[in-house]
Every structure is written in C-alpha cells, then in structure tokens.
Structure 1
C-alpha cells in the first residue's frame, strides 16, 4: 500500500512538472517532427533526382558537420546575447534553409543547406534543453528526462507519418516543415520567463577521455556512425530497395519505434549485470538482424518491417549504453566535462556514417546499407569482448544508473543527463 501510494505521488509530481513546462515540451516535439520529416524527405527526393548514393551520403553528412559546429558555438552566443535572441535566430535559419532546398535542387546547394540546418538544430536543442533543465528540480529531473524522451521519439515518428501528406516531388512538404519549425518557436519563446545559467562546460581532452574509458569513447564514435547512417541514409536505402513513399515512412517509423520501445528494458538490464555483456549482446543482435534483413527484404514485407523494428531497437539503444558505461569510470566532477567529449566523438562518427554508407551502397547496391550496419555492430561487439579481457567490471555500487538520452544529444543536454547520474552517485541504487 505504501509503495503504491509513493508511486502515485511520484507520478502526480512528474505530470505536474511536465505540465509546468508543457510549452517547452510541445515546442521540442514540433522541432523533432520537422527534423524527422526533413531527413526522410531529403533522402526520398535525392533518390528521385538521381543524386546517386555516394553524393547523397556526402550531402546528408553536411548536417552532422553543422551539428558539431552548432553544439560547440551556440553556448558562446547564448552567453553574449541571451537565450531568446539565439533561439529566434536559429529557428529562422532552420525555417529558411528547408525552403532553399525546394528552390535549388542541386547537391552543392543541398550540402550547404544541410550544414546550416545541422548548425541551427544543434543550437535549438542546446537552448531548449538548457531551458528545460533549468526549470526542473533536482528531484524530478530524471523523471522529466523520461517524458522528454517520449516527446522526442513521438516527434520523430510523427515526422515520418507526414511524409505521406504530399508528394516529395513538390514543394509542399518543404513548406510544411518550414511552418512546423516556425510554429515551434511560439510556445517556447512565450514560456521564457527567466534566463537559465548559460555557462558552457570545460572540455576534457579526447586522449584523457580514451585513457579513462576506451570502450565508452570508441563506442560513442561507432554509434555515431550508426545513427548518422540510419537517420541520414535510411530513407535513401528504402527508396533504392523499391519501397513506395508510404512504405519509406513506415520503415523509418518502425526503426524509431523499436528504439523507443527497447531503450528502457535493455538499459535496466545493463544496470543489474556487467554492462559490457549487454553491449556485446545488443551489438551482436543488431548485426545479426541487419544481415537477416537482406534476404527477408525480398521475401516478406511484413517480416522485413519487423526486423527493421528490431534493428532500431538494438542500434539506437547503444549510445545510451556507452554513455552509461563511460560514466561508470568517471568521477562525478569529470562527468560534465567528459560529456562534451563524448558528444564530439559521436558527432564525428555521425559525419562519417552517411558518406561511407553512400560509398558502400554505390558499390554493392541498396543492401550495402544493411551490410554496413552489420559490419559496424560486429566491430562494436568484438571490441567490447576485447575490453572485457583488459578490465574488471565495476561493482554494483560503482555503476551509475542507466539514463535514456536522445541519439542527437547536445553537450548541454548530456550535461543534464550527467547531473542526473551525479545525483545517483550520491545515493547508489544497484547501478
């Protein structure tokens, strides 16, 4: 009875806190709808325009180059002119760049616009997440992060569904994205009653980070490759495989849904056993599913979509696992500094993912997308097995609790996650 009452109170407190920041969550959800729709739309349209897989991969990589720059430079701009001005300027940039895609359908212009888009979205996430972080109390921050993740995945999935609203060959969907992004500004700006702390964390050198946690560092790099491949080239692969526009939206939707559903159970499993074993098993499952999807794609469309959900559920879970594993070996005072390094490493991998995947697909065909995912995940599993021979697993008291993080977390967003981990460090709970 007491535990049931405590759970009910905790749920009510979480709902109350979420309602207090509904405008921020609503705005973030709209941003994710726009971003999810945009990535799939550009992949489909690039395939229609015969850009070629290699060129398309380079174009899509531009987003992650811009994302790295935006996540690094935005905190400095916020410190100079404030959250409101930076957010409004970046939203305008994101709204404008997608319209340029519709006017100038050429790889060079698209590559440049993808760079600007990545810069804008990274900055928008930094500002929005720091606002949300500032509004959450220490006691509710972890639970509010879970709500934030639900909104994030719902937004990404909703964006895929909107791909069916109009033909990708017309400007309609480009205009729709611009409207969605522009509207996302309204609730967030109206909710800004005070400025949060805008201090950026001091960086930790990548060499030091690797020495502390080789598996965590290289794992974040490899999952960056995977995430860049899935979100940058997933729609391109689907179109090259002969899927209709509606089927492309379903394919991308089930990938994201799989990631949303399996994040929590896999993460909690990693809290109660050697996290490296969970990482190894998850990576091997992703590799096996990617390989299995190659023949199944020609046999059963339903079976293929089910496997795609499994690929998303395993592949999109690994980043959070690696972040938790890295935190297992960090002192609380190091976590915020290390988070920026891990995001940087993941971002570098995300830049590499679409371009290399496009090159592979150009050589072996559409199935190169799946084989590339298979090889990367197999490499992750092998390195995790190797590291298990080099270091003992941390004890239960030294292992921090798993926290779900978005696949496109910015340094400030990860700093928020690390604050949650830091709180768990103070009162270990079987992590």
Structure 2
C-alpha cells in the first residue's frame, strides 16, 4: 500500500481546471502543428507517424510510474513538475532539427503528459460521490477539449514554420503552472492512495479497458496523422486548422450529453453508440469529400473519438473507493497509451494504401461497436474488492 496524505479545508477545483485549460491550448496547437512543421526543419513528412508513436510510447512508459510520484509529492507539485518537464522537451526541439533528437524529446514529452493526465484525472475524480465525480469529469473534458479547440486556430494565427510555434508553446506551458504555484493549499482535502492488486486490476471492466485502448488508437491517429491527411486534400492551412478545430469542437460539444446519457443507459452500450457515430461519419466522407461535408463528418468523428475515453474511465471507476482512483486512472491511461503507441504506426501504413485514414477509422470503430454491443448484452455490474 502506498499512501500520501494531506489535509486542507478545501480542494479548489479551479486550480487543476485552469491549469489544464492553458495546457490544453498549448498541447492542442503543438500536437497539430508538429506534423506541419517538419518540412521547415528538413525532416521528411513520413516521420510524422513515428514521432506520434514515440510520443505515445513515452505516454505508455509514464503511465507505469506516475502513482509513486503523486504519492510522494502530492497532486499540486506533481502537476508543476510534469508541466516543467514538458516545456523543457519542447524547448529542446526548438534548438535542433535532428530527427533522432526530436524523437527522444517526444518520448520525454509523452512521459510528462502521462503524468499531467493522471494527476488531473485523479485530482478531479477523488471523492466518493458519483455525482461529484461526474460533474468534475464534465469540467475536465470541457476544459481539455475547449482548450484543444482554441489551440487549433494557432495553425493559421501563429503559423507552422521556424521557432515561433515552439516559443509560443513553451510560453503557454509556463503560464499553465501559475495557478498551481499560487494556490499552495490546493491539494485534494484528503489523499490516501492505495495501489490496486493484480487481481483487482484484472477485475476492472473489460469494456472500460478496451474503450481506453481504442480511444488511444483513434486519438493518436487523429493528432499524429489527420493534419497531414487533410493537407493532402487542401493546400490552405487555414482550412486544415478549421477542420482540426471542427474535430475537437465536436468532441467538446458531446460532453454534456454524455454525462446525462451515462446515468440512463449501460456505459458499454453508450460506447457502442459512440463508435457507430464515428462509423457513420467515415461513411459520409467516403460518399462526399467536399469541404462542407468534411467539417460535418470530422465534427461527428470528434464526438465519437473524444467520447470513448471519458465513458470508459468512469466505467472503470464505478464501484471504486477514492483511495483507488489514482491507481485505476493509471491503469486506464496505460491501456490508452498502448493504443496510442501502436495506432499511428498501423494508420500510417494504411494511409499509403487506397483505403486511407478514413478506412482505418471505419474499420477500428466498426469492430469496437460490435464488441461493445456484445459486451452490453452479457456484462453485469461488478464492484471491485477493496
């Protein structure tokens, strides 16, 4: 058992939410601009898939080591440390154009972002009330996707070449630290973190684990390869930024609906419905690839892709005590990271074929919908032994 306890009269929710929002703007912009800035640094565009995958391998590595850091330092200091590490990795990329060094930097960045996600998710999900968890998770997803949406517009406003994208990203990350630096009593009011045993991990919801895995596959491919796929259809960078923004905005817009639906239907069935929404979106793109249809279809894809992770993580935390939340979120992030690491590699290969990225998303989401429909028919709610 690992424990870290602090006491505080209150745990201000605005501290992690504000820090997350600014981080999301920086991350949303940088994740989308990175594939587009390769040419200006004399790095082949074929490296985009590998840069995305190495980032998610870092996320995968980080997901295995975050819990001890939170146990030792607490949520506030862990958040500050991981943001600082991410800023350092971006700064290093600004001063070199060597692909191997960029890949090393993206691995470090993935490790840091794993820490940020586990810190924020567990910070907001601590609390035994399901209603409180749902409310805080809604704030989390809205802030994350809202910030990411704003970040997409940086592609046209800030640009994609030279050192400026790196400088702006580092500046935003520095600002993201300020709320946690100034609110020294902002740790959760009572923290006691208990590591789940192997038996308890295996007893976690299988649809939740698969949902996080598929979310990683799709999200990793969206951030790592979708900007390049869109660039191939239009030379207008403003349109690429708008289409990416439509994807993320779609993901943000579905969040209030998810919190209501998750209380009224089995979460595995909801995962199936969200997967089918993505299948429908890819079908639209296959029929008509005009700009207007692209905006609509990518907004629907965003609703589908960005819905999978929050539904899956709440499904995993159902029946868990607050003390086990950090460990559970770490396990879910690990599953997400496995998908994120290998998804862009497979998607990059399929992008070179006639099927394209659209066909890849169609196949992955169709298989997920079938699995979740079967799971919703046979799965019974179970509580994890404490």
TM-score by length of 2: 0.83
Does the 8 Å CA contact 1:78/1:198 hold for their aligned counterparts?
no
Q: Which residue is 1:7 aligned to? A: none
Q: Which residue is 1:406 aligned to? A: none
Mapped to 2, the partners of 1:286 and 1:82 lie a distance apart of: 38
Does the 8 Å CA contact 1:258/1:310 hold for their aligned counterparts?
yes
Matched, 1:319 2:309: yes
Kindly state the Cα deviation for residue 110 of structure 1 after the two structures are TM-superposed. 1.6
Q: Which runs of 5+ in 1 are unaligned?
A: 1-16, 401-417, 423-431
Q: Which residue is 2:6 aligned to? A: none
Matched, 1:353 2:328: no
Q: Which residue is 1:117 aligned to? A: 109
Deviations along 1:2-30, one digit per CA (max 9) or x if unpaired, are xxxxxxxxxxxxxxx99x54444322211
Kindly state the Cα deviation for residue 128 of structure 1 after the two structures are TM-superposed. 4.7
Kindly state the Cα deviation for residue 312 of structure 1 after the two structures are TM-superposed. 0.7
Kindly state the Cα deviation for residue 343 of structure 1 after the two structures are TM-superposed. 2.4
Q: Which runs of 5+ in 2 are unaligned?
A: 1-9
Deviates more, 1:274-283 or 1:340-349: 274-283
Matched, 1:202 2:195: yes
Deviations along 1:356-378, one digit per CA (max 9) or x if unpaired, are 211221344xx621111111001
Q: CA RMSD in A?
A: 3.3
Does the 8 Å CA contact 2:63/2:333 hold for their aligned counterparts?
no
Matches within 5 A, 1:266-415: 266-297=258-289, 300-326=290-316, 336=325, 337-364=327-354, 368-388=356-376, 391=378, 394=380
Q: 1:249 aligns with which of 222, 241, 256?
A: 241
- Secondary structure of the 1:272 match is coil
Q: 2:149 aligns with which of 124, 140, 157?
A: 157
Mapped to 2, the partners of 1:105 and 1:45 lie a distance apart of: 11
Kindly state the Cα deviation for residue 269 of structure 1 after the two structures are TM-superposed. 3.1
- After superposition, the Cα gap between the structure-2 partners of 1:208 and 1:52, relative to the gap in structure 1 and judged at 3 Å, is farther
Matches within 5 A, 1:68-107: 68-81=60-73, 86-107=78-99
- After superposition, the Cα gap between the structure-2 partners of 1:63 and 1:244, relative to the gap in structure 1 and judged at 3 Å, is same
TM-score by length of 1: 0.75
Does the 8 Å CA contact 1:97/1:117 hold for their aligned counterparts?
yes
Kindly state the Cα deviation for residue 155 of structure 1 after the two structures are TM-superposed. 0.8
Kindly tell me the number of residue pairs found equivalent between the two proteins: 373
Mapped to 2, the partners of 1:60 and 1:190 lie a distance apart of: 33
Mapped to 1, the partners of 2:40 and 2:149 lie a distance apart of: 23
Matches within 5 A, 1:17-28: 21-28=13-20
